[in-house]
């Protein structure tokens, strides 16, 4: 009896991807991402046995949420605040915060 490897996408999923993706590159990228996600989830589950937060921390480190341009600007400003005069820092912060999310 042959068993399918746990990170091999099922044939139905591959057929679904083939209907959506137009190039071999797109299909390969989707399959690689799916396999990496399966591996990450297996690792997170394994790490959660000794401590539930380990799995969450690993997932957050490996699949961080993408920050908006506004969030990236505020983060960058915060990282270099000591080099900017207080009044200018306040103006820049106010300008960035006025941007839409």
Q: Do 44 and 79 belong to one domain?
A: no
What is the pLDDT averaged over residues 33-54? Answer: 91
Q: Is residue 1 part of a domain?
A: no
Buried b (16+ CB within 10 A) or exposed e, 59-81: beeeeeeeeeeeeebbeeeeeee
What is the pLDDT averaged over residues 24-53? Answer: 91
What is the pLDDT averaged over residues 17-30? Answer: 89
pTM above the 0.75 mark?
no
Q: Do 98 and 76 belong to one domain?
A: yes
Query: pLDDT confidence of 1, banded at 50, 70, 90?
Result: very low
Q: Is residue 6 part of a domain?
A: no
Please tell me the distance from the alpha carbon of residue 38 to that of residue 18, in angstroms, as a whole number.
19
Query: pLDDT confidence of 67, banded at 50, 70, 90?
Result: confident
Q: Which of 52, 54, 16, 56 is nearest to 34 (CA)?
A: 16
Percent of the residues in the chain that have a pLDDT greater than 90, as a whole number: 44
Q: How many domains does the chain have?
A: 2
Domain hosting residue 96, numbered range: 66-101
Helix, coil or strand: residue 56:
helix
Q: Do 53 and 76 belong to one domain?
A: no
Q: Do 92 and 50 belong to one domain?
A: no
């Amino acid at each position: 009896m042959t068993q399918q490897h746990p990170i091999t996408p099922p044939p139905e999923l591959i057929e679904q991807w083939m209907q959506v993706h137009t190039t071999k590159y797109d299909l390969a990228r989707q399959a690689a991402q799916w396999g990496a996600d399966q591996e990450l989830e297996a690792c997170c589950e394994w790490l959660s046995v000794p401590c539930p937060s380990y799995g969450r921390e690993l997932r957050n480190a490996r699949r961080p949420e993408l920050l908006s341009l506004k969030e990236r600007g505020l983060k960058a400003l915060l990282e270099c605040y000591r080099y900017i005069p207080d009044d200018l820092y306040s103006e820049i912060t106010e300008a960035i915060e006025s941007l839409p999310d």
